[in-house]
Structure 1
Amino acid sequence: MTSSGLAPRQDDGAALRLLRDGELSVEGRLVDASNTTLRGVLTLDGVSARCVYKPVRGERPLWDFPDGTLAGREVAAHLVSVATGWDLVPPTVLRDGPFGPGSCQLWIDEPDDTEPLVGFVPADALPPRWFPVAAARDDDGTPYALAHADDPRLARLAVLDAVINNADRKGGHVLLGADDRVHGVDHGVSFHVEEKLRTVLWGWAGRRLPADVVETLDRLARQISGPLAEELAEHLTLGEIAELAARVDRLRERGRFPRPSPDWPAVPWPPI
């Protein structure tokens, strides 16, 4: 099944309308997810597309995130992504469904021949223009490296993760769609007021931010102090929005990609 010509763009009004108003039927469950994550089909006015539906009632309680807030954080990540103009987070809404309210995000199909941008590679065969992030060994003791491509699309995703304080950027949450665009998914554990950045995208740590990224952060800061804050207030607390603005300001002031903190695990588990 395809998305019937709907391009998965954040500013695609047709996609958002389908997500909000389409009839939602569930196809099955993604069993590897820690919270209830369902694949569904949306249908509206003869147009159909697959989606990821995460009902609030299926959220696993977390000691550091209030119950029932992960779905809203998925939507908030999409709103911030739209504000950057980077087209990184697929269209996402909060809506009712067969198992109650939850987040609903456009499904991203990866072509079968897609080469991953993040993964484990033999330690002695790092691809050109890839960054090693962490050392690993397989069951036989063969050395590998957790690594990712030196790709500007990934660099923007790394900045977005720093902005939203993403605590779970696994390699499997980085998708390359048929349109050759990078998409980041699964942002339920983001926007905490305490620093919790955990990611596999540390390759640029400490490097200067590109000029266009700084310009985007300047624009984002203005939006957070204006209409974006009103949209985010439907999904985040005032304290979380204030800390979001503070993180953007810190990135602008330092002008560099963040470095891993020694105070908490810098890479999520499992990393892929």
Structure 2
Amino acid sequence: MSETTGAFDGLGTAEGLELLHGGDLTVEGRLTSASNATLYCTVSDGARSAACVYKPVAGERPLWDFPDGTLAGREVSAYAVSEALGWGVVPPTVHRDGPFGEGMVQLWVHGDTTVDLVALSREAGHTGLRRMAVFDAVINNSDRKIGHLLPTPGGHLYGCDHGVSFAEDYKLRTVLWQWQGQALTAESLEALEAVRALLADRGSALSHTLDRHLTGAEGRAVRRRVELLIEHRIHPYPSPDWPSVPWPPV
């Protein structure tokens, strides 16, 4: 589960999710570097408030390889996988209505700005980074940039921007290839087995979320990727038919 060391304005995961679902959203500004509409907001219920990111479906640019209007749902699906793995890779994320319609709302991570992200992305002994590589393999993340790494002062590592994930075809693009072909850790295999069990349970929260936000073929592809990781017990290799590193990598 996600850390509660102050990365989310002092809120724990459960409290943060409750606030995201029921609080009032106030738009404070826009992150202009983002390719889709990404709004910096405050969410408040009168007693509590926190910074968050709101990505309305109406602000999504059409993509040739993903169905229109689905990126917000993919972000929520990524959070569901993160929680199923038990690693808290993704900040608390919900799908809800907002000032510009339905969209994804995610708690803002107050990161550690002293960390050199380029150096961090190259580490091979960082537990959180290796977990993220496994997580990305499960969701088929096609855009793991260095700037999507969010280390916190408490030592936890989060990731953001998972809208272009869960494609049916293998499209893993990442800066985290340092473990390719290496054996998965016992911890990773245990977490993957837990995800496989939840995917097999059609009544689980994970299955419900994926069924709601992904196509049937994409949901089956998630299950197959998990099965392959468990079967082969190694980190995946880059595809020879798809660029292996996003551009720009930062």
Identity of aligned residues (%): 51
Letter in 2 for 1:181: H
1:220 is aligned to 195
Using the alignment, how far apart are the partners of 1:20 and 1:197 within structure 2?
31
Aligned counterpart, 1:269: 247
Q: Which residue number in structure 2 is paired with residue 235 of structure 1?
A: 213
Q: Cα deviations across residues 154-199 of structure 1 (Å, max 9, x unaligned)? A: 0000000000000000000010023210001100000010010000
Cα deviation, residue 238, structure 1: 1.6
Q: 1:4 to 1:34 in 2, by over 3 A?
A: closer
More strand by share: 1
Partner of 1:15: 16
Preserved CA contact (<8 Å) 1:39 1:52: yes
How many angstroms apart in 2 are the aligned matches of 1:4 and 1:271? 29
- The one-letter code of the counterpart of 1:96 is D
Correspondence 1:258 to 2:233: no
* Corresponding residue SS for 1:51: strand
Q: Are the counterparts in 2 of residues 3 and 48 from structure 1 also a CA contact under 8 Å?
A: no
Deviations 1:82-121 (A, max 9, x none): 00100110000001111111000000011332x13x41x6
SS of residue in 2 equivalent to 1:218 = helix
Q: 1:209 touches 1:257 (CA, 8 Å); kept in 2?
A: yes
2:122 alignment partner in structure 1: 148
Equivalents in 2 of 1:22, 1:207: separation in Å? 44
Question: Which residue identity lines up with residue 5 of structure 1 in the other structure?
Answer: G
* Cα distance in 1, alignment partners of residues 178 and 208 from structure 2: 34
* Equivalent residue in structure 2 for 1:248, among 226, 238, 241: 226
Q: How does 1:70-89 map to 2 (within 5 A)?
A: 70-89=71-90
Offset, 1:231: 2.5
Larger of the two Rg values belongs to structure: 1
Paired letter, 2:153:
A
Task: Give distance in 2, aligned partners of 1:112 and 1:211.
Answer: 32
What are the superposed Cα offsets for residues 200-227 of structure 1, whole Å, 9 maximum, x if unpaired? Answer: 0001111000111111111110111111
Q: Aligned partner of 1:149: which letter?
A: E
Give distance in 1, aligned partners of 2:226 and 2:235.
12
SS at match of 1:154: helix
Runs of 4+ deviating beyond 3 Å? none
CA contact (8 A) 1:168 1:187 kept: yes
> Counterpart of 1:261 in structure 2: which amino acid?
S
What amino acid does structure 2 have at the position aligned with 1:205? Q
Structure 1's 51 and 211: CA in aligned 2 closer, same or farther, altered over 3 A?
A: same
Letter aligned with residue 197 of structure 2? R
Contact 1:4–1:47 at 8 Å: present in 2 too?
A: no
The structural deviation recorded for 1:3 is 4.5
Specify the code of the residue in structure 1 equivalent to 2:71. L
Aligned to 1:205: 180
Give the AA of the match of 1:6.
Answer: L
Deviations 1:33-66 (A, max 9, x none): 1111110000013111000100000001001100
Which sections of structure 2, spanning at least 5 residues, go unmatched? 1-6
Matching residue of 1:185: 160
Looking at structure 1, the residues matched to 112 and 77 of structure 2 have their Cα atoms a distance apart, in angstroms, of 28
**What is the alpha-carbon root mean square deviation over aligned residues?**
1.3
For structure 1, which runs of at least 5 residues remain unmatched after alignment? 122-129, 131-146
Separation in structure 2 between the aligned mates of residue 195 and residue 111 of structure 1, nearest angstrom: 32
- Separation in 2 of the partners of 1:225 and 1:194? 21
1:103 alignment counterpart: 104
Task: Report the Cα distance in structure 2 between the residues aligned to 1:3 and 1:223, rounded to whole angstroms.
Answer: 27
